[in-house]
Chains A and B, each alone.
Chain A
Amino acid sequence: MEPSLSKPMERQPVRKRKSSKESKGVKIALISIAILYLSLLLFVPLIAIFIKAFEKGVDVYLAAITESDALSAIKLTLLVAVIVVPLNTIFGIAAAWLVTKFHFKGKQLLLSIIELPFAVSPVIAGLVFVLLFSPRGVLGLWMVEYGIKIIFSVPGIIIATIFVTLPFVARELIPVMQEQGTSEEEAAVSLGANGWQMFIRVTLPNIKWGLMYGMILCNARAIGEFGAVSVVSGHIRGLTNTLPLHVEILYNEYQFSASFAVASLMSIMAIITLVIKSIIEWKTEKQEV
């Protein structure tokens, strides 16, 4: 009896695995559609940026990215990223910590507020800051009195960018920290670690990949933000022009090659972001296995 029973059992899974897949034709068709769709929508534009950037030769390209307005746009964009990313990282860690390691009233509300910038149009986000800080705005008179200028100057750009990129780090960390729970931290504390030691030695190593992931997404958005920044910046060349705004100005002046040259710089940033992201994903995959 035994051998006759075990034989079909052995055979069955093999047969099943074969038939539980689509026919080869369907499979190839689906893969082709996916590749075609993604190449048309993602790959072709990415290549086009670089071809357009070098269309008029390397000289035009270099001139476009070393011209003084471009350089000050690069400087301003980097400055914004250097300020915004660390701030939102600290906020993201704090918010994720609060949400995942403690129970309190209004937690759901806090979660919704963290997500708010994703639901609001960047243009509206910019508008809110104009309403608050412009000379005719709510805090405007007070600020004119003290000589603080936010709208149409660098602080406005930074504030708007902070708002728009606020959710990225927290959003990546919350699920990771939720999964980890609090037991490891509790163990550390019971072994005599103080809060800081616990954070550096226990929490941080556990969340490092999620943290990096959130930071690079935050960075990418901080560099590329257009809508919100465009509202608050005032487009003053050499002063309040970030890279994306510089691209817009060049494009609207029909300096297409120069515009794409500057755009290509940001595309390189985007590609680096994708590469880092993929590396992080592989690392975490390996960790899980």
Chain B
Amino acid sequence: MVFIQTSELGWKEFIEIVTSERVLHSYKISFGTAFAAAAINAVFGLLVAWVLVRYQFPGKRLLDALIDLPFALPTAVAGITLTTLYAENGWIGQLLEPLNIKVAFTPLGISIALTFIGLPFVVRMVQPVLQNIEKELEEAAESLGASRLQIFQKVIFPSILPALLSGFSLAFARGLGEYGSVVFIAGNMPMKTEIAPLMIMTKLEQFDYAGATAIAVVMLLFSFLFLIIINIIQTWSRKHELQKE
């Protein structure tokens, strides 16, 4: 459908639209912020999953339940709340202002919104894998004289890597397409904080359907690329598991 609509545009027009400076900037911002957010989530998501699986502490159940909040909370609600918190006079923005860190209406703000949105993906992908790792393997490594860090690097990390990567890709893909939570905190300044989905929105509001579709096509191509990558990772990890068995 989307592809048919674009074919009505000439090739030249298509290239013109998708390589116009404002659109290129929006791609760059979308990719940059989504990547940063997914990376933050990969690191902290792994840590959170580890803590939730391995340790016992008061409030653990509550924390575990809270992880899925970004799935349950409407994105627009997340958007206005984060904007209010991180605005210059907001609870957190106030604390960051003396440090000269501006979050709301900057790419940093977009990243924070996307970090919120993508938080559950890595945790929920890694958690079951971590739970199923056989303790024997770790114990064997231990008895062979491996240090705790070595065990993590050589035994635990390789087995959770596929899950970590697919969690990362899911968070990244979601971040690329996310609209609701971002429009509020981004401020939507052309060339600075305009994300690609917003460009589609803007073109649509001007009834420039062809332009909107052209931008969408480029985004779709990238999304498909990621779907394929996710699929390859999953097939690879399945093979990996089969080999172990």
Contact = CB atoms under 8 A, between A and B. Distances in A.
Interface of A: 16, 19-20, 22, 27, 30-31, 33-35, 37-38, 40-46, 48-49, 52, 112, 115, 118-124, 127-128, 130-132, 134, 136, 138, 217, 220-221, 223-227, 230-231, 243-245, 247-248, 251, 256, 259-260, 263, 266-267, 269-271, 273-275, 277-278
B55 A30 contact: yes
B209 interface: yes
A31 B78 CA distance: 25
A31 B51 contact: yes
B227 A244 contact: no
Interface residues of B, number: 72
B224 A226 contact: no
A227 B80 contact: no
A131 B139 CA distance: 59
B76 A128 contact: no
Interface stretch (B19-27, B66-74, B99-107, B157-165): B66-74
Given A19-B142, A131-B1, A274-B68, 13 more contacts: A31-B55, A34-B51, A42-B66, A46-B69, A48-B84, A49-B77, A119-B177, A120-B220, A121-B178, A121-B219, A131-B2, A251-B184, A266-B73
A270 B73 contact: yes
Contacts of B82: 45
Contact of B47 (A30, A220, A244): A30
A247 B77 contact: yes
A81 to B, nearest CB: 12
A231 B77 CA distance: 18
B36 to A, nearest CB: 14
Contacts of A52: 81, 84
Contacts of B135: 20
Interface stretch (B10-18, B197-205, B237-245): B197-205
Interface string B102-134: 000000000000011001000000000000000
B236 interface: no
Contact of B44 (A37, A244, A260, A273): A37
Contact of B77 (A35, A42, A267): A267
B42 interface: no
Interface string B165-203: 000001001101111100010000000000011001100
A260 B81 CA distance: 8
A44 B91 contact: yes
A169 B191 CA distance: 39
Q: Which 3 A-B pairs have the closest CB atoms?
A: A121-B177, A224-B74, A226-B180
B157 to A, nearest CB: 15
A119 B204 contact: no
Contacts of B29: none
B75 A277 contact: no
A16 B143 contact: yes
A244 B76 contact: yes
Given A16-B143, A41-B119, A270 B69 contact: yes
Contacts of B2: 124, 127-128, 131
Nearest to B151: A20
Contact of A27 (B55, B77, B201): B55
A251 B80 contact: yes
A191 to B, nearest CB: 34
